[in-house]
Amino acid sequence: MMIIMRAGASPKEIDTVVERVQSFGLRAHISTGEERTIIGAIGEGKTVYNYMDQFIRMDGVDRVVPISRPYKLASREFRPDVSVFPIDGVQVGANEIVIIAGPCSVESRSQLLETAHAVREAGAHALRGGVYKPRTSPYSFQGLGEAGLELMAEAREQTGMPLVSEVMREEQIPLLTRFIDVLQVGARNMQNYALLHAVGESQHPVLLKRGMMATIEELLMAAEYILSHGNRRVILCERGIRTFENSTRNTTDINAIPVLKELTHLPVILDPSHSTGNWSYVSAIARAAVAAGADGLIVEVHPKPETALSDGRQSLKPERFAEMVQQVKTIAQAVGRDVAPVPAHQTSTQAQ
């Protein structure tokens, strides 16, 4: 349930309500909006509603309402304002579109640095690069692990871009978070509840990709795991779902963007690379995503896609990526938005 405080309720009144929520063994999640504070009281099942009357007459309380959706903290009911949070100086969820780009996998120093500089030049805000790869075949390249993280750190040092990389197992979190800014939970792990719990306890932003056979509600329930363990910074990512259609790797569920924007306050981005599986469709779907209201994109870029150790077929060459960014900018402006500016960065190379 949501305990909606009056506009101007005092901190003491808020604290007293929070203490009472906790005294019933419920968890209190505080959302401080522009006008008023909402306290989410979350517990198991419907028992939470037995306590509703306990709050109605408390000082500072305006009203108490149930949250009708199965996901609570992720819902717009709980938080009507869009969640906006910074990833190293770039605001995600704001009116401006954020672009994350880079190779599917970190393969070598030259491959990563070349890509990083090229995407930065073209206007990307963050660098992606997998070092732990969830591959269908155990005989395919599995990622460089820690050595790849060292390379990512070098790319960050040279370009100033924050880093996004996939976590596959809980044990990888301490190492990954020493190097990177955003933990990606991949499609195959969207319902790995132990992993969701663990990233929920980390204070790093999480990029949660939709499972290839997950409904929108299941995606939101997965986000709820992360939020309910205390981590508020979750970015949702549509990356295509499996359908009977086999002319593309996946089917981009473009509907998911307006649907998610209606149901949740969390930022929503789209991955046109995995959702099409073919570089020649990537720009078209990136444009469609922005037209449909996405808050950002995550795009695979490789300097020599034909030699890539993973997902070369769907990777854009840097010059195509630069064209895509320009096209996306035009579309963003046509719908009253823009692409976020690239923050100025004094690179260590420039500083010398």
- What does 125 bind: ligand PEP, Mn ion, none (CB cut-off 5 to 8 Å by kind)? none
| Whether 158 contacts 349, CB under 8 Å | yes
Nearest residue to 342 via CA among 28, 150, 100: 100
Q: Distance between CA 288 and CA 338 in Å, rounded?
A: 14
- Which residue, chain included where needed, has tokens 């504070």? 37
Applying CB under 6 A, the site for ligand PEP has a residue count of: 10
Which parts of 294-313 interact with Mn ion (CB under 5 A)? 311
- What does 134 bind: Mn ion, ligand PEP, none (CB cut-off 5 to 8 Å by kind)? ligand PEP
Q: State how beta strands 90-92 and 96-102 pair.
A: unpaired
Q: Write down the least CB distance from residue 300 to Mn ion, Å.
A: 6
Applying CB under 5 A, the site for Mn ion has a residue count of: 2
Indicate the residue among 40 and 102 with the shorter CB distance to Mn ion: 102
Task: Please give the single-letter amino acid code of residue 267.
Answer: P
Q: Give the full edge-to-edge strand order of the sheet including 27-32.
A: 27-32, 37-42, 2-5, 61-65
- Which residue, chain included where needed, has tokens 């099942």? 45
Indicate the residue among 104 and 182 with the shorter CB distance to ligand PEP: 104
| Whether 242 contacts 275, CB under 8 Å | no
Nearest residue by C-beta to ligand PEP?
A: 186
Which parts of 40-99 interact with ligand PEP (CB under 6 A)? none
Q: Write down the least CB distance from residue 45 to Mn ion, Å.
A: 38
Nearest residue to 125 via CA among 148, 93, 79: 93
Residue of 43, 86, 134, 277 that binds ligand PEP (CB under 6 A): 134
Indicate the residue among 187 and 195 with the shorter CB distance to ligand PEP: 187
Indicate the residue among 17 and 198 with the shorter CB distance to ligand PEP: 198
Nearest residue to 325 via CA among 293, 288, 287: 287
Q: Write down the least CB distance from residue 195 to Mn ion, Å.
A: 18
Binding mask 176-215 for ligand PEP (x = CB under 6 A): ----------xxx--------------------x------
Q: What tokens were used for 191?
A: 């319902």
- What does 239 bind: ligand PEP, Mn ion, none (CB cut-off 5 to 8 Å by kind)? ligand PEP
Residue of 48, 98, 100, 104 that binds ligand PEP (CB under 6 A): 104
- What does 40 bind: Mn ion, ligand PEP, none (CB cut-off 5 to 8 Å by kind)? none
Binding mask 222-251 for ligand PEP (x = CB under 6 A): -----------------x------------
Residue of 72, 233, 274, 337 that binds ligand PEP (CB under 6 A): 274
Q: Is 52 exposed, middle or buried (0-12, 13-18, 19+ CB in 10 A)?
A: middle
Q: Distance between CA 124 and CA 299 in Å, rounded?
A: 10
| Whether 64 contacts 56, CB under 8 Å | yes
Residue 261 is a binding residue for ligand PEP (CB under 6 A): no
Neighbours of 350 (CB within 10 A): 9
Task: Please give the single-letter amino acid code of residue 351.
Answer: A
Q: Distance between CA 142 and CA 137 in Å, rounded?
A: 9
Q: Distance between CA 344 and CA 125 in Å, rounded?
A: 11
Which parts of 82-141 interact with Mn ion (CB under 5 A)? 104
Q: Distance between CA 115 and CA 101 in Å, rounded?
A: 9
Q: Write down the least CB distance from residue 351 to ligand PEP, Å.
A: 32
Indicate the residue among 24 and 141 with the shorter CB distance to Mn ion: 141
Write out the residues near Mn ion by the rule CB under 5 A: 104, 311
Write out the residues near ligand PEP by the rule CB under 6 A: 104, 130, 134, 186-188, 209, 239, 271, 274
